Amino acid sequence: MDIYLPIAEVSVNWPVLVLLGGLVGFVSGLFGIGGGFLMAPILVVLGIPPTVAVASQASHVVASSTSGVISYSSRGAVDFRMGGIMAGGGILGALVGVELFRWLRLLGQADLVVALAYLIFLGVIGTLMLKESLEQILRRRRGTPAPRKQRRRPMWLYGLPWRMKFPKSGLYISAIPPLALGAGVGILSAIMGVGGGFILLPVMLYVLRMRASVVVGTSLFQIIITTAMTTVLQAGRNQTVDIVLSSLLLFGGVIGAQFGARLSGRFRAEELRAMLGVIVLGVGIYMGLELFVRPSDLFAIAPGVPEG
C-alpha cells in the first residue's frame, strides 16, 4: 500500500494520503475554506519534507476552490472585478513570496518563519473567530438581541486614489485596499502553503464590508488564481511540487469537499465559526509550540543546498 513520491523522495502509505485529502476536503467544504492551513502541518507530521508539503498542497487548494467557484458563479455569487483585482495583487504577492521563501531557506530560517506565521495569523484569527461566535451563541441562548453593528466603513477606503465601482459587491472604493489584501495573501500562500481564505473572509466582511452573498465566491476566485500562480512558481523556481502527492490529496479532497458542503447546512453559521475557530487556534498553537519547546536535537538539517 506504500507509494514512492518521486519529488518528495519518501515512501508513504497512499490510502492515508487519500483519506487525509478527504478529511481536509470535508473540513473545507463544511466551513467554506481552502483547508491549506490544516493540510501542511499534517503532511509534515507524516514525514513529507516541509518545502514539498507547502508547494504540493497548493494545487489541492486549486482543485477544491475550482469546484467551489463553479457552483458559486452559477448562482452569480462571484464578483469577478473585485476578485480580479485581488488576484492581480495575489500574483505580485506570490512572486515576492516565492523569492522570499527561497531566501529564507538559504538563510536556514524558513521553518522558523513558517512557525511564526502560523502562530501569529492562525492564533489571532482563531481567537477572534472563537470569541465572536461564542458571544453570538451565548446571546442566542439568553435571548438578548445582537448589539447594533457599526455600519460605516473605515474612511480611508474612500480617501485613496483609483476609485472603482464594484457593483456586485455594492462598493465604490479605491482599488488599492483589495490589491494590497491580495498581495498580502499571495505572500502567505507561498510561505505557508495556504489559500488565505481565513484572512480574506474576515477582511472582506468586516473591513471592506462587501455584500455578504458574494464574499465566499469572490475569495475562492482570488484563491484559485493566487495558488495556481504559487504552484507554477514553486515548480519553476524550487522544483518542490510533487504531482503524485498532490494527485492523491486532491482525489480525496474533491470528494470530501462535496460531503462537507452537504453537511454544512445542518449547523448554524455561528456554530460552524466556533468549530472552525477551535481548529484554527489549535493548529496555530501546535505550529507555534516549536518555537518554545526545547528541541530534542539542538542541531537540524537546513533544507536546500545551494546549487553547484
Q: Which residues bind another protein (CB under 8 A)?
A: 2-4, 6-7, 9-11, 59-60, 62-68, 70-71, 106-109, 111-112, 224, 228, 231-237, 239, 241, 243-244, 246-247, 250-251, 254-255, 257-258, 290-295, 297-306
The x, y and z cell numbers of residue 29, run together, are 467544504
Least gap, CB of 280 to another protein (angstroms): 22
276 closest CA partner among 26, 58, 45, 53 = 26
Name the residue nearer to another protein (CB basis): 150 or 292. Answer: 292
With vertex at residue 152, the alpha carbon angle to CA 182 and CA 145, rounded to the nearest 5 degrees, is: 110
CB closer to another protein, 146 vs 305: 305
Q: What is the three-state SS of 31-69? A: HCCCCHHHHHHHHHHCCCCHHHHHHHHHHHHHHHHHHHH
Q: In the complex, what is the shortest distance from the CB of residue 13 to another protein, in angstroms, rounded to a whole number?
A: 10
Closest CB to another protein among 70 and 207?
Answer: 70
- Taking the least distance from each CB to another protein, the nearer of 143 and 292 is 292
| Identity of the residue, 65 or 222, whose beta carbon is nearer to another protein in the bound complex | 65
Q: Report the distance separating Cα 108 and Cα 163, nearest Å.
A: 42
Closest approach, Cβ 169 to another protein, in A, equals 24
Shortest Å, Cβ 94 to another protein: 12
**Dihedral of the alpha carbons of 285, 288, 292, 293, in degrees to the nearest 10:** 80
Q: Would you say 86 and 182 are in contact if contact means Cβ atoms under 8 Å apart? A: yes
Least CB distance to another protein at residue 115 (A): 9
The Cα 193–Cα 41 span in angstroms is 10
